[in-house]
Each structure stands twice: as structure tokens, then as C-alpha cells.
Chains A and B, each alone.
Chain A
């Protein structure tokens, strides 16, 4: 067991409700890991158990080999940025940042100096004497971050910290948080239900659903090779068709819409096994005429949603909805209500086990 943070067999019951079901996870030192999942999936509960605000019903957690069991939140040395920042309204920015140092017996002069340096690092030079209510949402966020980092915590937990910010500010803070995290090298767990946020920030993503870990992978792996149908549907847009494997050795499967299609052969599957076949919308190509070679299908266009640089074409093939992402310039070739052809390359086909 050489990982930095280790969760093994963590279970949590709220009365009869099983909030967490056998969560096992290893996180390396300095890693930026995101807990991703819909609300109620167990990601925040896991975070609160790590922080010590909730007790696991079963299971153990260790940091750097030392067990956390029985330690109170204030004995764990874990920095947390809360959803609403939880800045102390009666203290100035710098006093907020000084607070954890004060609790650790650091003298006022040294402590305030260190707090000021930390505020500078998060880009708040000159704001240290302001009270939280005199700061904007983004600035409050930075103070909360500085406060959670100033005492050199063994772990940094971020509980949906960007939820309250508007879109532009959110993107800016994503970059900022990543920059500061890299610079300090602090092991970080970031909780969010926003998959683009997870994609853009994480070294690895842990997908939660119904109290269970669905998949742990780096962002690209997660996107291109989701383990389960849930992950495929939750991360990014997807066309998923239920089907079965025809020839496992050659990499041939069959399903609705895509018909009999080839995929990169994989020995995890056997002939006749029921599977889900995933093709991402941007991997489908639209054309008016049938392609001369390769694999293709037909579909009827229902709606075109323009985003400027790209467009989402929503159509159907038989009873099945199909989504295609096309470049903005290409959208002129089709109109709503028309029939067209979609084609793809075998590498774009990903097979997921199960029905």
C-alpha cells in the first residue's frame, strides 16, 4: 500500500439508506483528483468522511500510511473550501487566512505576514483588510482557498467551490486553482457535478453513481473508453445503442442504427455477448450522398442547434435518436426534415459490457 491517500471498503448508512457502498480508492501524492457524479451519488459524503464531519459505517482511510480513524476534523490537518466559502463574516480577509495559523499557535506578527503572502499568491494583494461582504464572489473564493492552504494541509478538499460563480469567472478560477495547486503540489480532491470542469482540471476523475465508484481514470480515458453505460452517458454527449458481439476475434458487433459495425478487437468480449455500442456525436460525419466506402447509416434530421463554431444535429434513425456534432461551416449542407447519411471510422466505436 504505497498510495498517499487510501480509502478501503468505506461504507456509509444514513438510517436504512446506503449512501456509500464499498468505496475503494488510491490517490497519489500531489495528484488533482475530481469526484464527479450527479447529486446524491455519494461524492460529497465521501468528502465529508475524509474531512471527518461524517463517520464511515465501515472501512478505513489512511493518509501517508497513518489512519484517520477516530481523529476529529480539527486534528486531521485537511484544508477545505466549502461550497459557499464559509468565510468568517466578522474577520477581515487576512484574519480569515490567519485563523488556522492562530489555531496552531503561530504568533500574530508571523502569522499575519504568512497570511498576507498567501493572499498575494492567490492574487489578492491589497485586499487583505476587507471583510468578506466587501469582496466579490471570485475574491471570496480566493480568500477561502488561501485560508485552506496557508497551514500546509496534507490534503485539500474543494466542495463544488465554483457553483456560485458565473461562467466566465468560473473558467478563470478553474485555471487559477489548477495553477496554485501545481505550484504548491498539494494533493487535492475536487467535488463537482460539472463534467467539463472535471475534464479541464483533473489528473484523474472518479465517477460516482448511487454510492458506488463507477470508474477511475484520467479525463481522456474516461471520455473515450468509459467502463459503463452510466459513465458514457454522464461524461460528454453520446450515442449509445444496445447490441451484441458477432465476432469477438475480428471485432464485429451488431446493433440498431449502426448495423453491423467493426470495432478495435478486444478479448474482453465473447461471441454473442450483449453489449452497448458507443459513438460520440463528433465522431459521426454527415453527408448528403452515401459514402463510397466505410461504414455508414441513414438518418432524418429533426433539429439543428447552432453554437456558431459548431452545431448539434439531432435526428433519428428508425425509432432511435441520433446526435451528430458538426463544424459550424459544415452545417449548411443539411436542413431540418431532410434525410442524410452518417458515417464513422471503426476506431470511433467503443464497446461497453452489459445491457
Chain B
């Protein structure tokens, strides 16, 4: 049983890894279409990506929209999470479900809604429209990460601060906020990625002017399968790899002396951006 399971497990590892591995050589291929093994290697498509405004503009749009979404999401989610984790009140469970709803509704449904609703508000094809929509979709992830962190927060620390003469406001600034910082950062990161990766709503409402990178990639794959996509894939892949390895590297460097790390570890792959 044990051996069989593990053998299948290894095959699955290859299955999971294959698509991640394949895009890297493809990005250096000099073939005009999807050809493997590549007939030759060059950096031409990297050059193409970094000089072509039709790729750079969506990239910039995505960064801009994801950043603004992150800020807006956090401004809304942080106080709400405090309310939901730390207080008991009538209607709490309803509020809890409401925070998670945007994750449960299929994005295609929201896409139609935004297309029509933002159409009436003249927000279709604008950055603002995409930001407003993405902020809704980022709420559940940011909330889940932050509430997990907040639940693990030792409130005796706040009592200690008060007994030492800190008012509630100063306790929040000097104690609560700094200790929650890793959780806040991860929560914000999840919100950013959710927006940066979101495709379906962006396809319907971002239009030419606010075109995001996933939308541009979607169109390109659908029409011609431009090899530049392999370049972008490789770059995104590298960014994710760096992002994932950074905590380990930092901890490796810092961890020799400080063995018991008080900061919360990033949850591995717990939370889900939909498409």
C-alpha cells in the first residue's frame, strides 16, 4: 500500500511539475509557433516583450490596478476583521458569510453584473471600474488570512500595554499593529495576487484602456499564441519562485540565533483565487 501510493505520488509530482518546467525553454525558443523541442534558442521574445507597448501597457495596468485594489481592500477589511474576530454582536454570523460570499460566486456571474452595472455608471473600460470590482473579489482572501492571524494574537499583550500606561489608541499603534504586521503584509499580498491574476471580470470590463495582463494574455492565446506569452509566463514564474523562497532565505539567514520565530508563517497554499 505504502509503496504503491508513493510511486503514484512521484508520477503526480512530474504531472504537477511538467507545465511549470516547459514554459522556461519555450521562452528562449526562436520558433514562431509552439514547437518542442525548440529548433533554436535566442532572447528575441524577451526583447519583444520589453519593447512592445501592447505588452508593457497591460503589465503596467495590472500592477496599478492590483496596487490600488490592495490598498482599498485593506482599508475596508482591516477594521471589519477586527470587528468580526474580537467582538460578539447580533448578526455576526451573517456578516461572516457576507465577507466570504465574493469567493463563492462564480466570477462569470460577477462579470455580467459588472459589465451591465458599470456600463450604466460609465465605469466600464476604466481603471477605477476594474479596481472597484477587484476589491470586492479580494475581500474574502484578505479577510481569511488576517482573521487567522488576529485569532492567534495574544490579547494579554494589549492588557500588559494598558497596565504600563498606554491608552487604547497608543496600545494599537505601539503593540497591536507592529505585532500584526506580518499578517497584514501577507493579507495584502494575497489581495494583490488575487487582483493581478483575476481574468474573467477583467476580460469583460477592462476594455482597451484598462486592459490587464491576464486579459491581454487571454486574447493573445485565443488568437495567435504569441511566443511572448512564454516569456511572461517565465517572468511571472520567477517572481512567484522568489516570493516563495524569500521567507525561507530570510529565515535561514536570521534563524540561527532566533530559533523560536514569533512571526506567523505564511500559509502555504491555503487560499484560493478563482480563475
Note whether A and B contact each other (Cβ less than 8 A).
yes
Inter-chain contact A99/B161, CB cutoff 8 Å: yes
A79 at the interface (CB under 8 A from B): yes
Inter-chain contact B159/A53, CB cutoff 8 Å: yes
CA distance A20 to B167 in the complex (A): 28
A104 at the interface (CB under 8 A from B): yes
Residue pairs across A and B with Cβ atoms less than 8 A apart, 22 shown, are A51-B163, A53-B162, A72-B162, A73-B159, A73-B162, A74-B164, A74-B167, A74-B171, A77-B165, A82-B156, A84-B156, A86-B154, A88-B157, A89-B262, A99-B166, A103-B164, A103-B165, A133-B260, A133-B261, A133-B262, A134-B258, A148-B163
Since A77-B165, A86-B157, A147-B164 are in contact, a sample of 14 more A-B pairs with Cβ atoms closer than 8 Å, ordered by chain A residue number, is A51-B163, A53-B159, A79-B164, A82-B160, A83-B156, A86-B154, A88-B157, A88-B161, A132-B262, A133-B261, A133-B262, A134-B258, A151-B164, A151-B165
Which residue among B164, B166, B175, B257 has the maximum number of chain A CB atoms within 10 Å of its CB? B164
Chain B residue numbers with a CB within 8 Å of A89 are: 179, 262
B255 CB, nearest partner CB in chain A, Å: 11
A100 at the interface (CB under 8 A from B): yes
A124 at the interface (CB under 8 A from B): no
Q: B residues engaging A (CB < 8 A)?
A: 154, 156-157, 159-167, 170-171, 174-175, 178-179, 257-262
Candidates A74, A104, A132; contact of B162 at CB < 8 Å = A74
Are A88 and B179 also in contact (CB < 8 A) when A99-B174, A134-B257 are?
yes
B247 CB, nearest partner CB in chain A, Å: 17
Chain A residue numbers with a CB within 8 Å of B257 are: 134
| Mask of A82-109 contacts with B, CB within 8 angstroms, 1/0 | 1110111110000000011011100000
Residues of A33-89 contacting chain B, CB below 8 A: 51, 53, 72-74, 76-80, 82-84, 86-89
Closest partner residue, chain B, to A82 (CB atom): B156
CA distance A79 to B160 in the complex (A): 9
Inter-chain contact A74/B163, CB cutoff 8 Å: yes
Closest partner residue, chain B, to A99 (CB atom): B164
Interface residues of A, CB < 8 Å — how many? 30
Chain A residue numbers with a CB within 8 Å of B164 are: 74, 79, 99-100, 103, 147-148, 151
B155 CB, nearest partner CB in chain A, Å: 9
Are A90 and B178 also in contact (CB < 8 A) when A73-B159, A80-B160, A133-B261 are?
yes
Which residue among A76, A84, A89, A100 has the maximum number of chain B CB atoms within 10 Å of its CB? A89
A225 at the interface (CB under 8 A from B): no
CA distance A132 to B263 in the complex (A): 13
Chain A residue numbers with a CB within 8 Å of B171 are: 74
Inter-chain contact A90/B179, CB cutoff 8 Å: yes
Inter-chain contact B260/A86, CB cutoff 8 Å: no
Residues of A137-160 contacting chain B, CB below 8 A: 147-148, 151
A186 CB, nearest partner CB in chain B, Å: 14
Inter-chain contact B154/A74, CB cutoff 8 Å: no
B256 CB, nearest partner CB in chain A, Å: 11
CA distance A51 to B261 in the complex (A): 31
Are A103 and B258 also in contact (CB < 8 A) when A88-B179, A90-B178, A90-B179 are?
no
Chain B residue numbers with a CB within 8 Å of A134 are: 257-258
Closest partner residue, chain A, to B182 (CB atom): A90
CA distance A131 to B254 in the complex (A): 13
Inter-chain contact A82/B162, CB cutoff 8 Å: no
Q: Which 7 A-B pairs have the closest CB atoms?
A: A86-B160, A100-B164, A103-B165, A89-B262, A73-B162, A86-B156, A80-B163
CA distance A106 to B171 in the complex (A): 17
Chain B residue numbers with a CB within 8 Å of A104 are: 165
CA distance A131 to B257 in the complex (A): 11
Candidates A73, A83, A102; contact of B163 at CB < 8 Å = A73
Chain A residue numbers with a CB within 8 Å of B174 are: 99, 102
| Mask of A192-225 contacts with B, CB within 8 angstroms, 1/0 | 0000000000000000000000000000000000
